[in-house]
A and B are shown apart, each in its own frame.
Chain A
Amino acid sequence: MIPEIGHFALILALCLALIQGVVPLIGAHKRYSSWVEVAFPAALGQTLFITISFICLTYAFIVNDFSVGYAARQSNTELPMIYKISAVWGGHEGSLLMWTWFLAIWSAAVVLFSKSIPQIMRGRVVAVMGLVSVGFLLFTLITSNPFDRIFPAPLEGRSLNPLLQDPGLIIHPPMLYMGYVGFSVAFAFSIAAMLGGKLDSAWARWSRPWTNIAWVFLTLGIALGSWWAYYELGWGGWWFWDPVENASFLPWLVGTALIHSLAATEKRGVFKAWTVLLAVFTFSLSLLGTFLVRSGVLTSVHAFANDPERGIFILMFLVVVVGASLTLYTWRAPQIRSAVKLNIWSREGGLLINNILLVITAASVLLGTLYPLALDALGLGKISVGPPYFNALFVPLTIPIAMLVGVAALARWKQDSLERMGKKLVIPFVVSIIVGSLLPYLLLDDVKWGAVVAGILSVWIMMTSLLGIYDRVAGKQNKWQALRNTPRGFYGMSLAHMGIAMFVMGITITSLYSTEKDVRLVKGDTYQIGDYSFIFHGVDSVTGPNYRASEGRFTAQYKGEEIASLYSQKRTYNAGGMPMTEAGIDAGFWRDLYVSLGEPLDNRGAWSVRLYHKPFIRWIWLGALIMAIGGLLAATDRRYRQSVKAPSPSTQAVTAGAA
């Protein structure tokens, strides 16, 4: 009964989504304000029904209702409760339902928190999100209904893929999906602005906090995924340029460009048309990511069994969304003109360069990801593009970004001079050259060129970002008051940029200084990596809640002194024959020690073992975390929460149009 309620609630949600998508748009066009208002209760109702639906599905998992086919495939009576719940979004149907649920939550959030925005605009935004929701609800109901019953119901489910039975995987998908779906808000704002024909700086201002929050979720989602891949796949890598990873990285790159271009559009009224286009692209790339992941067209380390029919549906949906948006764009773009002249020596000039670099990076990642698909579709052979391609492009494109990130933030809007900037930057430049080159000497045993470059770049980003805050205080009477008066958005930006400094340091040093050894060890053996030695104490059998495992025990010594015990397991889950490795990691701010048990090599206790020393690897995720905190600070800046007391001429025009 409960699953039927869930199914029914989903159908009701679809009806409401249709009303939410269609009625307000007609209302906005015909100036029926009561029709526009329909959007808000419809969006809240839709959210309520999808929430009910999601709860019903979760209930089926909690009570082990294996007559629901999806639960039978994903869950199992032996699964610990927390994984029964996370198994709800562990498969295609459930993760799709979650996608749609989040979309509804985002539109409800726009209804509830964007009350200061003119009603007609808000109605259009919520309506566009309703239309996107219609697409996804149809997709769920037609191709991937999670409530489908199977007969006869099996007594036991097939259980969740062991790789997904992990704390990191409980929160990684929801974070990533919140990010993907969150960009639908920026998309809806840009479409609504185009529909209204008013592409001024107001829409940019309204969509900025939403875009920031979506970006924060996506950043955390990607970082969590990278962290999970690191400890769970047992290869010790943190990024593989895998198509599925790229699928999440593409909207991040373009979304980052969008955040910056929105700033320029809001503050200076420049790049108006470009910003709209970026908003469309960011969400399209989120959809493309969903398509790539769900369609099974990719060969990827992350690829799983899949249903091509679903891929075609998403592809068609993608074509409709992109096609409709671009048609609207070509119709409206000629009316959008940036009235202001752009001076390259200004903050907006810096933001333009930022956008160019990020979009070029995204384009080359996209090319490397889609090229194999294109060749295959044309029958020109099956190929794969290796990580060296991505590294070869990514490194040279990241260096200018790192060089300019703090500098552009220091420049003034409208007009700055090379002379003024030059004067300001002499001290940071000298300091970063000296400190940056010294860092590798102090922190590392041998000095490599790459580490020196990364050190200089990181100190440079730190110095220029701090200089921005110093500028706010310098010459002020009351320094404390000046710090307090500095808007939160500015702190957010500076912090996010400093996150990049940490990230650059992390990736460079990890890539250059990691030691990775696959070795054969017998109980009692010691293996030396630099100053660290790993001692193998043999393998024992252990039993977990729903698995049995061989556990390899190791101790690690630093210069002869014991510093850590490491346990790596080879697990076999009771529900399935698929073995799985659990790495043993001693994590630290400066380095990780990583042990991963391979296979038994003979009957006398010899095992293949992976031993890693990974300096600075935590900096990668800490950097991402700092970026996310920065984004969150910026999104909660007070000025976004102020209601529009004295509407600017542009908003008046829109409301006048509504009346």
Chain B
Amino acid sequence: MTPRQKRMTFVGLLIAGVGLFIALIMMALNENINHFYSPTEVLEGKAPDDHSFRIGGLVVTGSVNRSTDSLKILFDLTDGAKNFTVQYEGILPDLFREGQGIVATGKLSGDKSVFVADEVLAKHDENYMPPEVADALEKSGKMEEAMKSGHPASVPVGAPEVWRDK
């Protein structure tokens, strides 16, 4: 091979390699993306029924229903406009409480009536509202109401600015 051919082969291989790498990465990424939906959007049928996604909102006061003989738990999430029922089996995070903003990851049940969560995230900081939840509340216009009702997000002055590197 002439030096020129050699160089071209090298460049060609490089492009092929980079292309393959990007293709693989994008594939891995697309398979593992979870979109976020509010309870309203789920009820409108916007959420996928075969792929896992995230749902977020405030835990409706009085809706938490525990099974007596297993770790199953049912609760409603609200974005202020609509509610959606979430089912979870296991131990909830310490900060899970009624009225608290949470985000759950999971799938819709077969009949699309319940969100079966395999992970429930509440945050380390009691004054923190997940941005998605805040956004969903804004959209439904219920943010102010949530603030007034004594949701932790209404404590801006002197809220512990918790150190965030874990």
A interface vs B, CB < 8 Å?
A: 69-70, 72-74, 89-95, 150, 154, 158-161, 163-164, 172-173, 176, 225, 228-229, 234, 244-245, 248, 293-294, 296-297, 299, 301-307, 360, 364, 367-368, 371, 381-389, 392-393, 518-520, 570, 576-581, 596, 598-599, 601-602, 608-610
B40 at the interface (CB under 8 A from A): no
* Chain B neighbourhood of A173, CB < 8 A: 163, 165
Question: What distance in Å separates the Cβ of A240 from its nearest Cβ neighbour in chain B?
Answer: 10
Contact A244 B165 (CB under 8 A): yes
The 11 listed contacts between A and B (C-beta, < 8 Å) are A91-B160, A92-B164, A95-B165, A172-B166, A245-B166, A304-B164, A305-B160, A384-B34, A384-B36, A518-B89, A520-B71
A518, B68: Cα distance in complex, Å: 15
B50 at the interface (CB under 8 A from A): no
Contact A158 B160 (CB under 8 A): yes
Contact B163 A299 (CB under 8 A): no
Which residue of A176, A234, A384 is within 8 Å of B33 (Cβ)?
Answer: A384
Contact B159 A383 (CB under 8 A): no
* Chain B neighbourhood of A91, CB < 8 A: 160-163
A229, B124: Cα distance in complex, Å: 12
Contact A73 B158 (CB under 8 A): yes
Given contacts A578-B94, A608-B71, whether A382 and B35 have CB atoms under 8 Å apart is yes
Question: What distance in Å separates the Cβ of A83 from its nearest Cβ neighbour in chain B?
Answer: 12
The 5 A-B pairs with the shortest beta carbon distances in the complex, nearest first, are: A389-B32, A382-B36, A598-B91, A304-B125, A304-B162
* Chain B neighbourhood of A234, CB < 8 A: 94
B142 at the interface (CB under 8 A from A): no
A382, B103: Cα distance in complex, Å: 12
Question: What distance in Å separates the Cβ of A482 from its nearest Cβ neighbour in chain B?
Answer: 42
B70 at the interface (CB under 8 A from A): yes
Which residue of B31, B68, B94, B123 is within 8 Å of A602 (Cβ)?
Answer: B68
One of B78-86, B109-117, B129-137 at the interface: B129-137
* Chain A neighbourhood of B29, CB < 8 A: 367-368, 371, 385, 389
* Chain A neighbourhood of B92, CB < 8 A: 598-599
Q: Give 13 A-B pairs besides A302-B165, A392-B31 with Cβ atoms closer than 8 angstroms.
A: A161-B125, A164-B163, A173-B165, A244-B165, A303-B128, A305-B161, A382-B35, A384-B36, A385-B32, A386-B105, A393-B24, A599-B91, A608-B91
Contact A305 B125 (CB under 8 A): yes
Contact B130 A299 (CB under 8 A): yes
Q: Which residue of A lies closest to B25 (CB)?
A: A364
* Chain A neighbourhood of B66, CB < 8 A: 601
Contact A293 B31 (CB under 8 A): no
* Chain B neighbourhood of A579, CB < 8 A: 94-95
A147, B161: Cα distance in complex, Å: 15
Question: What distance in Å separates the Cβ of A563 from its nearest Cβ neighbour in chain B?
Answer: 24
* Chain A neighbourhood of B162, CB < 8 A: 90-91, 161, 164, 304-305
* Chain B neighbourhood of A576, CB < 8 A: 126
Q: Which of B32-85 contact A (CB under 8 A)?
A: 32-36, 54, 66, 68-71
Q: Which of B90-114 contact A (CB under 8 A)?
A: 90-92, 94-95, 103, 105
Contact A229 B158 (CB under 8 A): no
A201, B162: Cα distance in complex, Å: 44
Which residue of A93, A599, A602 is within 8 Å of B161 (Cβ)?
Answer: A93
